[in-house]
Amino acid sequence: MSSKSFNPFEMAQAQFDKAADILDLDQPTRDLLRNPMREYHFNIPVRMDDGKMKIFRGFRIQHNDARGPGKGGIRFHPQETVDTVKALSMWMTWKCAVVDIPLGGSKGGVICDPHNLSMREQEAICRGWVRQLSKDIGPLTDVPAPDVMTNAQHMLWMLDELETIYRQKLPGFITGKPVGMGGSLGRTEATGYGVVYTLREALKELKLRPENTIASVQGFGNVAQYAIKLYTQLGGKVICVSCWDQNDQTSYTFRKDSGIDVEALAGITDRFGGINKDKAKAMGYEILPGEAWIEQDVDILMPNAIENQITGANVNKIARRVKVIAEGANGPTTPEADKVIQERGIFLIPDFLANAGGVTCSYFEQVQSNQNYYWEKEEVLGKLDVKMTSAFLAVSELARKRKLYMRDAAYVIAVSRVAQACRDRGWV
């Protein structure tokens, strides 16, 4: 998650403050949008498999719901902090606004390590999380989804618990469900594909053909794998990926100059995105330190892991060849690093635009669940492409027109939409 010296919420607030200054927002609007509207902190008692009771700490932060029900994932992570969840809830507000879907921003989490929990214990945490929040979440209020170290099974347990409490079928309460149980086709691919849809448009703007580019990717979870798949389908080549090794408690970069084989690597990857180091080495991969992904002589960098990965300490290690950074992760770049990236003229696709494919498809799933009518995969991905492309073009046009950094342009669009919704409701 985040180091003790790095506070993601302070970073999120600083990014908002910059946009607020550009927009010349009045003080009441700044005060309203700078902090979450509601925070829930609670304990989840769980009887463990050994018979002992253990208390887990859970959170749900609802940043703003002026444009619609809250939307945002639930993370299970041993280093989860409330400041991380608060930052992510704020970023979700801007993410939904920048792609213009009628949802607000929320985020949830539990301090736990699924690596060390049985499936029964994980189920108990999921059901306990819902019980603590059942009066304050729901299909018309706040809609959760999977995030770091949570998956479709966790979502289904949560849905079942809420439906048990209310004695109703409420499939629109949660997204990321298994297909066949109210989940949407295309949801698995959505975030990674969304990153590449925006990358494709950026390359067009820079007059670069995908087949003439190579990339380095941080992360090898769901987002990274599907981003790599679509990028290579467009003709690009990924020469390395970096991921966390649960056994060694460190990260490694797996490099192959001829290009990585995403399907082969996926075959030796655990469910948390960790690649088997020995098997990768046997397949001809060079094993480098985890931070080596950022130093590669490539055209494109895709930080697709967690926050605080491109910082003032390592931004100058980015090769001169790099032309595009596509942020698949939430908050991977600090403001200090942003300044250097902007000065160097690297085209940055900001996180809450680049990775908005996930929440966009979650919105599609919510709509389908509420209607009890489901679309074919091609329709879902087609709608996703249209939404992501439109959002990118709007941000890019504003950036050119007002000579803004892409992140600032995306913030201006998102914050202005949310601020207007708050004004229209009479909140400010």
Catalytic positions are 107
Q: Are 357 and 193 in contact (CB under 8 A)?
A: yes
d(CA 125, CA 127): 6
Helices and strands counted in the chain (H then E): 14, 12
What is the chain's length? 428
d(CA 171, CA 368): 9
Q: Is 143 helix (H, G, I), strand (E, B) or coil?
A: strand
How close are the terminal C-alpha atoms of the chain, in Å? 34
Q: At what angle do helices 406-425 and 377-402 cross, to 10 degrees?
A: 100
Q: Cα-flanking dihedrals φ and ψ of residue 139, to 5°?
A: -60, -20
Across the strands, what pairs with 326? 349
Give Cβ neighbours of residue 117 (< 8 Å, ≥ 6 apart).
Answer: 125
d(CA 355, CA 98): 11
| Residues of the chain by 3-state class (helix, strand, coil), percent to 5 | 50, 20, 35
Q: Are 24 and 17 in contact (CB under 8 A)?
A: no
d(CA 348, CA 27): 30
Give Cβ neighbours of residue 316 (< 8 Å, ≥ 6 apart).
Answer: 340
Burial of 151 (0-12, 13-18, 19+ CB in 10 A): middle
Select from 196, 194, 185, 184 the least CA-distant residue to 143: 184
